[in-house]
Structure 1
Amino acid sequence: MRRILLIPSVALTLIGVQATTAQSSSPKNNVAHSSTASCAARTMTPEDAAKERKALASLDANDVASAQPDLVALAKKYPCRFELQAAAGMALAEAENVNAAVPFLRQAHARRPTDDAIAFNLALAELKTGNVDSALPLLQKVASRNPNRADTQLALAAAFMQSKRPSDAAAAFKKASMDLTAGGQAVPLELRMDWASALLQSHRPSEARDVLRSADGLQQSAPALALLAETAEATGDYEEAARSFESAARLDPSEPMIVAYGNELLQHRTFGPAIEILKYGTEKFPESQRMHLALGAAYFNNAMYPLAAPEFYTMLLRSPNDTLAADMLGRSCADATAASLQECTALEGFAKEHPENAVAATYAATAILQRPTEARDSQTAEHLLQNALRADPKLADTWYQMGILQQSRNQWNESAASLEHAIALQPDFADAHYRLSRAYSRMGRREEAIAEVQLEMKFRQENKDANSLRMQKIVRILTVDKQP
């Protein structure tokens, strides 16, 4: 009986293996009808027998469309006939109607539990429907009876991956590779990639890298090179990681590959090369939010704020609720060299049009409060901050800016309350502790003021590399988000 299903999976391709077995004959040729005490076999009419022969012949000739209707109808009519249950299940599975195939394959397996071909195909069908708890024991039994079959090991690896057992999956991939080699067959690159992915998920990156390095066709496959880069990154070999990502991007200058290469450079603060590749990326994929985020982050962390602001503003126009874009735009515009940019002056208007974006409103108010006294519109700043607090009362930066505004008006008691809110939401907010110490001092609360100064000094030392923490957040976003 043929083994007919391949398993679509993010990590598992199962390509290049001849999926056949010698443990069971074809349904067409197996004429020994099965019956048990629990199932009284029904005598088949001559007309139905003729239909069965014709349908089985069509199935063997790969004419599934012709075979399926009669096989399914006959299998329902004669539930005790192993051949019909098996053939109907196989026909439905070949037609990608796996959910309908499973009951027939289960019935066939119940009639002949030692038939490895049926058990194998039932397990694959169960895997495709997500029922790994049923598939795994079946595959383990088949593998124990057929220990040297690559297709069985590959299916077993798929089941282990679905069960979140990557270490066991890696062992099965290794065994499949050995079986193929012993049989004189090449180990496909796709199998090595799946094997390496399992090893990587098992926290064994050095082994994963070795599996990929020895793969035929590695240098011609962008996905394989990108995976090699991930394994190199995990081992701490950043130079190999960057080289592999670059090679992958040259082979496949797609949005994901360019972002992956740029992200690798960002992680290790190689901002110049990162800017060059990401500028190319934004020109090639101008609609990609990830590309603008990565390029903006490269500019920002290279202190090129006037160039960073337009990238974040572009993101914000496309996604008005994007709080990260608003945050990075606001931080870029806070620098004096970028404050007069069109994108920075437009932030106030954007915030008024999108009051639901608390971060945008907060930074628009911040920009106003940083202007010279004669050009400062504190009423507008207050209105924006109030909008921000209505949209998100748990944003520490907003309470902090409200505290600054109140201090500019000598409203020290109100300022202390706002700054206490900010610190309650973000206890390590060094600037808020400093401002609160000023408020307490003006209010005659000298001991509390001294305590706040001490906290400000403590947290400023701990958070002196806040931009690095922000960069880590951006890197995580670029790594996890796979869509443009």
Structure 2
Amino acid sequence: MRRILLIPSVALTLIGVRMAAQTSSAKNNVVHSGTASCAAKTMTPEDAAKERKALASLDANDIASAQPDLLALAKKYPCRFELQAAAGMALAESENINAAVPFLRQAHALRPTDDAIAFNLALAELKTGNSDSALPLLQKIASRTPSRADVQLVLAAALIQSKRPSDAVVAFQKASANLSAAGQATPLELRMDWASALLQSHRASEARDVLRSADGLQQSAPALALLAEAAEATGDFEEAARSFESAARLDPSEPMIVAYGNELLQHRTFGPAIEILKYGTQKFTDSQRMHLALGAAYFNNAMYSLAAPEFYTMLLHSPNDTLAADMLGRSCADTTAASLKECTALEGFAKEHPENAVAATYAATAILQRPTETRDTQTAEQLLQNALHADPKLADAWYQMGVLQQSRNQWNESATSLERAIALQPDFADAHYRLSRAYSRMGRREEAVAQVQLEMKYRQENKDANSLRMQKIVRILTVDKQP
């Protein structure tokens, strides 16, 4: 599963609107907005002087000085376009976007054909997440000025925000064509956003082509990572791995190393994955994703004694992490890892954290796998009861309870526990096998035979259980966020 790195790189920057203060109020007494008329107040000489001074300060980029008078005057004279636009611009320039929008809306209502103010309003609406309001504004401007690349870029950003990546692709194409017609190269960041929209539109091959032809590709880790995702989506694992490796070399950050290691894991290239992830865990010792990826690489390479410490580290960091507990328990189930301190410590951990049902189940499992003379079944039973109290729907806990009960010759009780396990997980092959033994001891021969048949059926189907587990880990690693 690919990871989309869509971070709109379009610079949502206000464009200048020339604010010429008008001392003659006669030409501003009536301003038309659509079919409605706005009766303007006659501006006092004192206010006219304040307006000139505030607009001059705004033109000089002295926003702090301009803003108080602009806001006061804009509220007092709602029909003066210059004041509404200037107040909105001043607020937007100071990143007070929410407050800017009403003034910009009023300015647009007063002059709906003014593309500069319409564009600034659209930018402000887009920054506040209101793409539904931004889109019609941008579409009108784009239809009136089809050669403006900046309008197409912001239109594309609005379409992405509206979850319309296919339409955004068209806008990106037009922006690129407009830049080319003006003799300008399409910037790398534009190509990255364009490629991301193509990936979201399930057009990975086109996304790869857009990125391959980008200037500066080999010097940009994010662009190389995006190319790797496009290559992976087209089935070209070799290019994906090369691109992720190049990205990680340029930017050996936690996300980049995890992304490269995850790519290698997906294609079972465990040796190289282990090497890069060992480096990653040494550099980012607190990264849960890094320990998970390295542990998964060790586990799937049958290096259980090396996998267990990685999962135990995760569990100490996040005691409620059921995936870490599950992978630690599975690692410790192997004889090569059973005597590790991380595995022997699982029982104590489970007692300290009874809320982690998976940890308690595997701690009990470890006890039940010991030789009879060292097996503490009372402790195992308590751990399983803790697990079932924390999670009554945990099939593994019901199964292990059935195993414990069979070790005590409690066949009827074991049948009940195993039936619960199978009800929760119908393809639980081991549970079917154990239930067949219980039914046989109880004299229920036909049902025992039926359970054996189900056990054989699901045993065959469950051969790829580790692969399914790896897919789950890959999905977790694919999430683009710090742990």
The TM-score range, normalised by the shorter chain, is over 0.9
SS in 2 for 1:35: strand
1:138-159 superposed Cα distances (whole Å, 9 cap, x missing partner)? 1111111111101110111011
Supply the distance in 2 between the matched residues of 1:18 and 1:99 (Cα, whole angstroms). 15
Partner of 1:26: 18
Once the 2 structures are TM-superposed, how far is the Cα of residue 176 of structure 1 from its aligned partner? 0.7
SS in 1 for 2:38: coil
Partner of 1:461: 460
Contact 1:437 1:452 in 2 (8 A): yes
What pairs with 1:106-117 in structure 2 (closer than 5 Å)?
A: 106-117=105-116
1:246-300 superposed Cα distances (whole Å, 9 cap, x missing partner)? 0000000011100000000000000000000000000001111100000000000
Partner of 2:58: 59
Supply the distance in 1 between the matched residues of 2:315 and 2:120 (Cα, whole angstroms). 51
Partner of 2:287: 288
> CA RMSD for the aligned pairs?
1.5
Alignment partner for residue 8 of structure 2, among 7, 12, 20? 12
Letter in 2 for 1:158: A
1:174-224 superposed Cα distances (whole Å, 9 cap, x missing partner)? 111111111122211111000000000000000000000011110000000
Partner of 1:72: 71
Supply the distance in 2 between the matched residues of 1:68 and 1:271 (Cα, whole angstroms). 61
Supply the distance in 2 between the matched residues of 1:481 and 1:107 (Cα, whole angstroms). 40
Letter in 2 for 1:453: V
With normalisation by structure 1, the TM-score equals 0.95
Letter in 1 for 2:479: V
Worse-matched range after superposition: 64-73 or 194-203:
64-73
Supply the distance in 2 between the matched residues of 1:125 and 1:436 (Cα, whole angstroms). 65
Supply the distance in 2 between the matched residues of 1:441 and 1:312 (Cα, whole angstroms). 39
Letter in 2 for 1:11: I
Once the 2 structures are TM-superposed, how far is the Cα of residue 11 of structure 1 from its aligned partner? 2.5
Partner of 2:226: 227
Contact 1:18 1:151 in 2 (8 A): no
* 95 and 20 in structure 1: CA distance in 2 versus 1, 3 angstrom threshold: closer
Supply the distance in 1 between the matched residues of 2:185 and 2:89 (Cα, whole angstroms). 28
Letter in 2 for 1:302: N
Once the 2 structures are TM-superposed, how far is the Cα of residue 480 of structure 1 from its aligned partner? 1.3
Partner of 2:130: 131
Supply the distance in 1 between the matched residues of 2:48 and 2:143 (Cα, whole angstroms). 37
Letter in 2 for 1:402: M
Letter in 2 for 1:27: M
Once the 2 structures are TM-superposed, how far is the Cα of residue 40 of structure 1 from its aligned partner? 1.6
Supply the distance in 2 between the matched residues of 1:10 and 1:201 (Cα, whole angstroms). 9
Partner of 1:35: 31
Supply the distance in 1 between the matched residues of 2:480 and 2:151 (Cα, whole angstroms). 33
Supply the distance in 1 between the matched residues of 2:309 and 2:163 (Cα, whole angstroms). 43
* 318 and 261 in structure 1: CA distance in 2 versus 1, 3 angstrom threshold: same
Supply the distance in 2 between the matched residues of 1:183 and 1:107 (Cα, whole angstroms). 34
Supply the distance in 2 between the matched residues of 1:476 and 1:378 (Cα, whole angstroms). 37
Contact 1:305 1:337 in 2 (8 A): yes
SS in 2 for 1:232: helix
What pairs with 1:296-335 in structure 2 (closer than 5 Å)?
A: 296-335=295-334
Aligned residue pairs: how many?
472
SS in 2 for 1:269: coil
What pairs with 1:410-449 in structure 2 (closer than 5 Å)?
A: 410-449=409-448
Partner of 1:254: 253
Once the 2 structures are TM-superposed, how far is the Cα of residue 39 of structure 1 from its aligned partner? 2.4
Partner of 2:351: 352
Letter in 2 for 1:245: F
Contact 2:227 2:240 in 1 (8 A): yes
1:340-367 superposed Cα distances (whole Å, 9 cap, x missing partner)? 0000000000000000000000000000
Partner of 1:172: 171
| Identical aligned residues as a percent | 86
Contact 2:153 2:175 in 1 (8 A): yes
Supply the distance in 1 between the matched residues of 2:50 and 2:15 (Cα, whole angstroms). 26
Once the 2 structures are TM-superposed, how far is the Cα of residue 170 of structure 1 from its aligned partner? 1.0
Partner of 1:5: none
Supply the distance in 2 between the matched residues of 1:414 and 1:448 (Cα, whole angstroms). 16
Partner of 2:158: 159
1:6-51 superposed Cα distances (whole Å, 9 cap, x missing partner)? xxx9521114x99758xxx612267853524542210111111111
Partner of 1:4: none
Supply the distance in 2 between the matched residues of 1:276 and 1:316 (Cα, whole angstroms). 23
Supply the distance in 2 between the matched residues of 1:322 and 1:272 (Cα, whole angstroms). 26
Contact 2:9 2:193 in 1 (8 A): yes
Runs of 4+ in 1 over 3 A off after TM superposition: 17-21, 29-32
Partner of 2:339: 340
Contact 1:403 1:418 in 2 (8 A): yes
Contact 1:355 1:391 in 2 (8 A): yes
Worse-matched range after superposition: 393-402 or 121-130:
121-130
Letter in 1 for 2:291: H
SS in 1 for 2:39: coil
Worse-matched range after superposition: 42-51 or 59-68:
59-68
Letter in 2 for 1:152: V
Once the 2 structures are TM-superposed, how far is the Cα of residue 118 of structure 1 from its aligned partner? 1.1
Contact 2:13 2:123 in 1 (8 A): no
Contact 1:404 1:435 in 2 (8 A): yes
With normalisation by structure 2, the TM-score equals 0.96
SS in 2 for 1:464: helix
Partner of 1:244: 243
Supply the distance in 2 between the matched residues of 1:305 and 1:260 (Cα, whole angstroms). 23
Letter in 1 for 2:148: R
What pairs with 1:69-218 in structure 2 (closer than 5 Å)?
A: 69-218=68-217
Structure 1 segments unaligned to the other structure (5+ residues): 1-8
Contact 1:19 1:151 in 2 (8 A): no
Letter in 2 for 1:272: G
Contact 1:275 1:298 in 2 (8 A): yes
